[in-house]
Amino acid sequence: MARLRSTLGVLFSRSAVRYGLALLCFSALGLVAAKTLRIESDFTAFLPPSATPEERLLIAQLRDGLVSRLMLVALHGADENTLARASRGLAEKLGHAPEFDYAANGSLNQFAVQGEVLMRHRYALSPNVNSQHFSAPALRAALEEQLAQLGSPFGMLSRTILARDPTGEFLATLRQLDPGSMPALRQGVWFSADGQRAFLIAQTRAPGFDSVRQASAMATVRKALAEVNPKVEITLTGSGVFAAESRRLIERDAVNLSLCSAIAILAMLLFVYRSALPVALVLTPVTFGLLIGVLVVQALFGSVHGITLGFAATLLGEAVDYPNYLLLNTAAGETARGAARRIGRTLALAVLTTVASALALTLSSFTGLAQLGVLTMVGITVAGLATRYLIPWLLGDRVLDFRRLHVPAGAAAAQAGWPRMIGLAATVCGALWLASTYPAWWERDLASISPVPEEMRAMDLRLRREMGAPETSLFLASRGASETAALQVAEEILPVLQEWKQAGWIRSYDSPAWYLPAPATQTGRLRSLPDTPTLQKNLDEALHGLAFRADAFAPFVRDVAAARVQAPLTRAAYAATPLGAKLNALVVELEGQWLVLTPLVGVSDPGKLAASLSAMPEGGSRGRSSDTTQLVDLKQISTQMVDGFSRAALRQAAVGTLLITVLLILGLGSLKRTLHVAAPAAAALVVTAAVLTAGGQRLGVFHLVALLLVLGIGLNYALFFERTPADAAERERTRLALAVCSISTFTTFGFLSLSATPVLHAIGSTVALGALVSLVLSALWARPSFS
């Protein structure tokens, strides 16, 4: 007896050391993860890799383009006066905030710096400047017009610069800047047509995808408004806002839902085992798998994407199955080591097939999906190894004692032929439905990849419409070997654009060539300016007999003289102005070439424009084929990109499936058994996809990922079911193990489907449904028949 006690003591202390070691290992890993983990949430990581220059342009625009940096601010919930005052106060405050390049609210005095640039360079910018423009008759006509305006009470604004600019070049320059797409003005600031909302546009310094800095910019806006008038309500929208908001939502959902499902699973495990030790043991492989998986992703990719992390939580649902399967399979009085040896082969196959299905993801050239793949592979492998070796090692010779629940068999039903036939019929119907409705259920909209909830996108669209600033997806892209060359090409297309506008093919266009003409054009204009004696002579002649004082326009003569020796205007001159920001977005370098983008608004028929472009002589006036203007349809490119990606993903999935089949054949050593295992898993995929699409869901990238997961889970179930049990007791143990496994999967993914984030919702609902179908079909088909 004493000997037994001392043996037990040794055993206990030895296993205590083992637990201590495991805990130490775990803490060390946790510490490393906490110290080094870098979470990013740039949703473009989940965009398809870009093959063509146009696609790269799209990605660049989405990530860091003009549109991505614009924050739309709507003020509401007060009367017009209050809103207008709040708009002024807010614009004033944001104008000085370090997070913003500028904040515009439509008020005239806002663009002071920009106005100065345009004023200083008006003779290089105004399209009216030519050699005849400053002749005596032309000047006379201009002066007479100014005299008439001087009498009117409403020309006060232009009158302040009359002495410098009697020919009105500044106004001619301003008039080019497209006013067509601006919202209505009330009390001098932008308002919605109904006067309910005041609008501001602020450009953030941070790129749109930098969710952390975008969030701080949003906080700045809210704080500034609270200082101006805390009673006014505010709505913020824009790509950057989306990035910040979706990061917040993903983080919130990932934390909350993971917590919920963890609690639910814990409760279920406690109910099943009624003892703390088995529960702790079940959780061990999962936590190790997750930690090591995340660390490997971090090591390989430099950071972990927020979505990947959200998804990591879902691994919990699958990885927790292995230790459950092991522990619940141990017969009364059997050590875990013994059980592990017995089910080792099945477990290995279950792990390997899941790894194979995730391999397809790893091969993906999307960073986001590759991260998911690596995390799944590493996490599952570690969890599998921990189940097979760590748990038996921890337990040593100790026999776990827990009450084994009895699960009613319902086996009679499964043994009967007709439920199997129903399963078969459901699968056939599902396949027929999918085939007949293809490709309507294929998601082709790039927006589906965006983690932004639907209602936020709808709000953005509505505000944009109210602002009269529709999102443009059509551009003319003028290509050149240098910035100068590209600008030249963009300038040559201006007459064509004017024709299109007159013909009503487009409503308006916004050419960078207006405010940044090619250097040659600028020099041409400046050269046509008369020298001072000539100008003075013409001016004196023009002034003769008019009411103006003889020396009234001396500032004009000085300005023209200065303009004649001025260097051409460059992009740098616009630094820190709204136009500068716009130019940086519309004049871009891409792979050694320069592109000048001209956004088109209100295009009735893109086909007509493309045809009109291709009918033009190649290469414009200089006949170089590299210098051309093309129509770029971002919407179409994005659709192509998604299509291309979906095809690639399908190919990868096919490779994964092939790999799985080979693994199964090798592992099971029999074609018939392989069929037993593979058929329910494959059928579950078909039924799940059919049910989802029948419910009006379009299948996108994330559904595909989720379906791969379903495949992995389905194969696990089928493998567990398929293993021939030695006796009735083992059959009962298997039933219990599978019930626990499927409940945990269903719980985890069920919680995930509650997420407001489209990605998490898609994965959650797909896997929850898929797991259920897999379980039923495996129960019906995979179990070996006892004849």
Least distance to another protein from the beta carbon of 87, Å? 12
Task: Say whether residue 651 binds another protein (CB under 8 A).
Answer: no
Query: Which stretch, 102-110, 245-253, 305-313, 407-415, contacts another protein (CB under 8 A)?
Result: 102-110
**Residue bearing tokens 């946790």:** 30
d(CA 549, CA 614): 55
Q: Which stretch binds another protein (CB under 8 A): 94-102, 106-114, 345-353, 479-487?
A: 106-114
Strand boundaries in 275-426, DSSP class E: 304-305
Hey, what are 573's tokens? 């001159």
Q: Closest separation between CB of residue 165 and another protein, Å?
A: 12
> Which amino acid is residue 608, in one-letter code?
K
User: CB of residue 543 vs another protein: minimum separation in angstroms?
Assistant: 10
**Distance between CA atoms of residues 294 and 261, nearest Å:** 19
Separation between Cα atoms, residue 90 and residue 715, nearest integer Å: 59
CB of 299 to another protein, least distance (A): 58
Query: Residue 46: which of 654, 572, 423, 452 has the closest Cα?
Result: 452
- Spell 108-123 as b/e; 16+ CB within 10 A means b: eebbebbbebbbbbbb
Is residue 112 at the binding interface for another protein, with CB under 8 A as the rule? no
Considering only 5, 160, 439, 728, the residue that binds another protein (CB under 8 A) is 160
Instruction: Decide if 737 contacts 324 (C-beta within 8 A).
Output: yes
Check whether the bond before 98 is cis (ω within 30° of 0): no
Q: Are 776 and 423 in contact (CB under 8 A)?
A: yes
Q: Distance between CA atoms of 384 and 128, rounded to whole angstroms?
A: 76
Residue closer to another protein (CB basis): 158 or 275: 158
Report yes or no: 577 and 102 within 8 Å, Cβ to Cβ: yes
Judged by CB under 8 A, how many residues of this single chain contact another protein? Answer: 27
Pick one of 89, 188, 519, 524: the residue that binds another protein (CB under 8 A): 188
CB nearer to another protein: give 42 or 169.
169
- Give the angle subtended at the CA of 437 by the CAs of 434 and 442, to the nearest 5°: 80
Would the CA dihedral through 765, 767, 768, 769 be positive or negative?
positive
For residue 626 the two structure tokens come to: 């590299």
CB of 92 to another protein, least distance (A): 11
Nearer residue to another protein within complex by CB, 183 or 512: 183
Provide φ and ψ at 442, rounded to 5°.
Answer: -80, 120
User: Taking CB under 8 A as the rule, does residue 299 contact another protein?
Assistant: no
Q: Which is nearer to another protein, 198 or 304 (CB)?
A: 198
How many whole angstroms separate alpha carbon 397 and alpha carbon 420?
42
Under the binding rule (CB under 8 A), the answer on residue 82 touching another protein is: no
Is 363 a binder of another protein (CB under 8 A)?
no
Half-sphere exposure of 392 (CA within 13 A, CB side): 20
10 Å CB burial of residue 271 (0-12, 13-18, 19+) is exposed
CB-wise, 110 or 450, nearer to another protein? Answer: 110
109 binding another protein? (CB under 8 A)? yes
Which residues within the stretch 678-707 sit at the binding site for another protein (CB under 8 A)? none
Burial of 395 (0-12, 13-18, 19+ CB in 10 A): buried
- In the DSSP assignment, the letter for residue 588 is E
Position among 157, 412, 572, 728 found at the interface with another protein (CB under 8 A) = 157
Nearest approach, Cβ of 81 to another protein (angstroms)?
9
Q: How many CB atoms lie within 10 A of CB 529?
A: 22
Residues 525-544 that bind another protein (CB under 8 A): none
CB 466 to another protein: min, Å: 17
For position 79 contacting another protein by CB under 8 A, the verdict is: no
Least Å distance between CB 182 and another protein?
11
Query: CB within 8 A of 207, min separation 6: which ones?
Result: 63, 64, 68, 69, 240
Least separation in angstroms between residue 471's CB and another protein is: 25
Q: Which two tokens stand for residue 52?
A: 């063509």
Find the Cα–Cα–Cα–Cα dihedral 142, 146, 147, 153, rounded to 10°.
160
Shortest distance, CB of residue 175 to another protein, whole angstroms? 14
**String marking each residue 542-561 x if it binds another protein according to CB under 8 A:** -----xxxx-xx--------
185 binds another protein (CB under 8 A): yes
266 is a contact residue toward another protein (CB under 8 A): no
715 touches another protein by CB under 8 A: no
Least separation in angstroms between residue 109's CB and another protein is: 7
Q: Examine residue 148 and tell whether it contacts another protein (CB under 8 A).
A: yes
| Contact between 147 and another protein per CB under 8 A | yes
- Interacting stretch for another protein, rule CB under 8 A, among 15-23, 181-189, 506-514, 700-708? 181-189
Strand partners, 588: 595
Q: Give the list of residues 6+ apart from residue 303 with CB closer than 8 angstroms, or none.
A: 38, 39, 40
- From the list 640, 747, 758, the residue with the least C-alpha distance to 702 is 758
324 binds another protein (CB under 8 A): no
Which is nearer to another protein, 178 or 730 (by Cβ)?
178
- When asked if residue 163 is in the footprint of another protein (CB under 8 A), the reply is yes
203's tokens? 């450009």
Give 183 or 580: the residue with its C-beta nearer to another protein. Answer: 183
What element of type H or E holds 40?
A: strand 39-40
- With CB under 8 A as the contact rule, the residue among 98, 154, 495, 617 that binds another protein is 154
With respect to another protein, which residue has the nearer C-beta, 109 or 787?
109
- One of 9, 31, 32, 159 touching another protein (CB under 8 A): 159
Minimum distance from residue 112 beta carbon to another protein (Å): 11
Q: How far apart are CA 38 and CA 369, in angstroms?
A: 17
CB of 472 to another protein, least distance (A): 25
Q: Which of 50, 68, 105, 107 binds another protein (CB under 8 A)?
A: 107
Q: What is the DSSP letter of 469?
A: -
Looking at the Cβ atoms of 166 and 714, the one nearer to another protein is 166
**Between residues 548 and 702, which has the closer beta carbon with respect to another protein?**
548
* Residue 73 beta carbon to another protein: minimum distance, rounded to whole angstroms: 20
Task: Determine which residue in the list 2, 79, 112, 153 makes contact with another protein, applying CB under 8 A.
Answer: 153
Q: Which of 51, 108, 141, 658 binds another protein (CB under 8 A)?
A: 108
Q: If you write DSSP's letter for every residue of 250-298 in order, what string do you get?
A: HHHHHHHHHHHHHHHHHHHHHHHH-SHHHHHHHHHHHHHHHHHHHHHHH
Q: What end-to-end distance do the CA atoms of the chain give, in Å?
A: 49
Please say which residue, 338 or 555, places its beta carbon nearer to another protein: 555
Q: Please choose, out of 46-54, 179-187, 477-485, 773-781, the segment that lies near another protein by the rule CB under 8 A.
A: 179-187
CB of 184 to another protein, least distance (A): 8
Instruction: Specify the length of the chain in residues.
Output: 787
Asked if 60 and 230 count as a contact pair (C-beta separation under 8 A), the reply is: no
Q: Does 226 engage in binding with another protein (CB under 8 A)? A: no
The residue (of 78 and 429) whose beta carbon lies closer to another protein is: 78
Task: Give the one residue of 184, 459, 557, 694 binding another protein; rule: CB under 8 A.
Answer: 184
119 binds another protein (CB under 8 A): no
Of the two residues 189 and 585, which places its CB atom closer to another protein in the complex? Answer: 189
- Rule CB under 8 A: say whether 17 interacts with another protein: no
CA distance 82 to 229: 9
Applying CB under 8 A, does 186 fall inside the site for another protein? yes
> What are the Cα distances from residue 517, in Å, to 124, 174, 363, 491, 583?
8, 14, 46, 7, 12
Which residues of this protein are in contact with another protein, per CB under 8 A?
107-109, 147-148, 150-154, 156-157, 159-160, 162-163, 184-188, 547-550, 552-553
